[in-house]
Amino acid sequence: MTMEDGSCPPAVAPSGSQAEDYGSWTLKQKLEDLINCDPIHGIMPKNPKYKAYFEEKFEEKLSTYVRVVLPKLRPAIQKDSVKQFYQVYNCWSGFMGLGEFLYPDILTNMASQNALRCARVALQGTSPLLRCRRRADPNTRHRYGFAPLHMAAENFSVDMVKLLFRCGASANIRTKGDNVIEGLLPLHVAVENASMHKYIEDHWAHGDHIINLIFLLCLPEMKMFLDTTRLIAKQTDNIVDEVWNYIQHEEKHVQAAILLLAAEKQLRGRLNKSSGKASLNGFDIVKSRIGDALSTIHLEGLNMVQEGKNGRALKRLKDKKEALLTALVLVCIVHKAGEALDGYIQTHSQLEELLLHCIN
């Protein structure tokens, strides 16, 4: 059974003193230990002898994949040639059983290369031309700790994101392991990479008017990035918290703007059918959090003045206050103009007139 984060639950080991006394295990416990292990998901047997055996075999298969299979498979994936994929995959999976062991790496490579046809075959796993009919799990992490959706988000591949979601991918799987920045959602990958786009770097700098940032994000040059982020944001839990996390960082205005624009539909409240009352929507919650943070800063500043403190500490509070006020303006603009902006404004004059009308 797959957990919410894409991993599998650990095998249940015998409880009490028997957990370490492998010699006292019953035959049933030993069989359950072997049945519950799943090397492809990093779940090894509890028995050290069997664990060492499975780890050794997994390393052998991984080494063969990297040395022999991957160089032959990579051209097929780069060309997105299903015919070549069948030939290479069937040859080596039939000979060494590599298919079931290494589908996570293969699927992630497909997402990286945007090989839609090959990925569809792997995810469906029903083609009569496949020797191994095991369906690729869209939520299994690559051995380096990221899932296929992280790669699709990094490449801003709208079609690949849609395919992965149709096949059951979760947007709430976080990166995990020593080879990645831990705890990143696919949403974070999309937002951070979009914020570093050269078009933004060349045309906007921190300190510029926030309207200019929104204007740049709504131009055609950024459409693909917002579209991808919007798709992923729609499937991501706790979107208000994700927006707030960016707002709390003083240097994350670009990221906050991207997420606000991409998730503006989710942030709007819905009528509570049971009570007939409209609850606070996401925009109101974020505004409230900003207001609370500003109140806290104000009180901290008063206490510092009363204690005779000044200099860097007060300057730091002032910078935090300015950043929050800028974020508040950003939230208010998207809250008011977001639905119109979602229709995608194409020309400079139309967009500028719309923004000026909404804030006046």
The answer regarding whether domain 16-184 maps to CATH 1.25.40.20 reads yes
Terminal Cα distance for the chain, rounded: 54
Confidence of residue 8 (pLDDT cuts 50, 70, 90): very low
326: pLDDT strictly greater than 50: yes
206 three-class SS: strand
pLDDT in tens, 40-62: 666 778 888 888 888 887 777 77
What are the boundaries of each domain within the chain?
16-184, 191-359
Give the residue-averaged pLDDT of 66-78. Answer: 85
DSSP 8-state symbol, 147: -
CA separation for the pair 204, 254 (Å, rounded):
9
DSSP 8-state symbol, 14: P
- Greatest alpha-carbon span in the chain: 79
Shortest CA distance to 184 belongs to which of 159, 147, 215, 157?
147
CB-based contacts of 267, cutoff 8 Å, min separation 6? 239, 240, 243, 260, 281, 282, 283, 286, 335, 338
Give the model's pLDDT for residue 350.
52
Give the model's pLDDT for residue 48.
81
188: pLDDT strictly greater than 60: yes
Shortest CA distance to 228 belongs to which of 153, 293, 292?
153
144: pLDDT strictly greater than 70: yes
pLDDT in tens, 265-299: 899 865 444 555 545 689 999 999 999 999 999 99
Give the residue-averaged pLDDT of 143-166. Answer: 94
55 three-class SS: helix
pTM of the model: 0.77
The answer to whether residues 286 and 240 touch, using CB atoms and an 8 Å cutoff, is yes
Q: Which ranges constitute the DSSP H helices of 134-281?
A: 148-155, 158-166, 186-195, 198-203, 210-217, 223-234, 239-248, 253-262, 264-267
Give the model's pLDDT for residue 280.
66
Give the model's pLDDT for residue 87.
80
Confidence of residue 304 (pLDDT cuts 50, 70, 90): confident
pLDDT in tens, 243-263: 999 999 888 999 999 999 999
Mean pLDDT of the chain: 81
Of residues 172 and 99, the one with the higher pLDDT is 172
Beta-bridged to residue 208, according to DSSP, are: 206
CA 279 to chain centre: 28
pLDDT in tens, 94-103: 555 555 555 6
Give the residue-averaged pLDDT of 330-339. Answer: 90
